Amino acid sequence: MEPPGAIGWPGRGRGRRGRVGGPVKEAVANGRLTASGGRPTRLTALAAARGVTEDAIALAAALAQPWASVVLSGAVTRAQLEGNLAALTVGQVPTLSLAEAPDAYWAERAARPWH
């Protein structure tokens, strides 16, 4: 059994297809791709169409990466965990092009209030 907050497969250091891989630690961008994080409209629309939360879409996209050996959800409440586990039901996720420049990401992350 995996620790709470981890969704993934066994294979320390190897992706699911046997290639060298690693863990995905910030699949929901430190909360920015969740209900409390000011998520992008395209992500919200896709989540609504699939009947899941935005974090489930983000985690499904991370799980689909062949190099990802483990995807950490970061869930701390039962409701978050249940929403995150819905990622396993999402299926294929289209490319949403949500990437941003590293400097912008880290600046916004640093400005987030941490509770």
Strand segments (E) across 41-98: 68-72
pTM: 0.72
Average pLDDT over residues 39-58: 89
State the pLDDT at residue 23.
85
State the pLDDT at residue 114.
65
Does residue 60 have a pLDDT over 70?
yes
Does residue 12 have a pLDDT over 50?
no
Distance CA 70, CA 11 (A): 8
State the pLDDT at residue 1.
34
Confidence band (pLDDT; 50, 70, 90) for 19? low
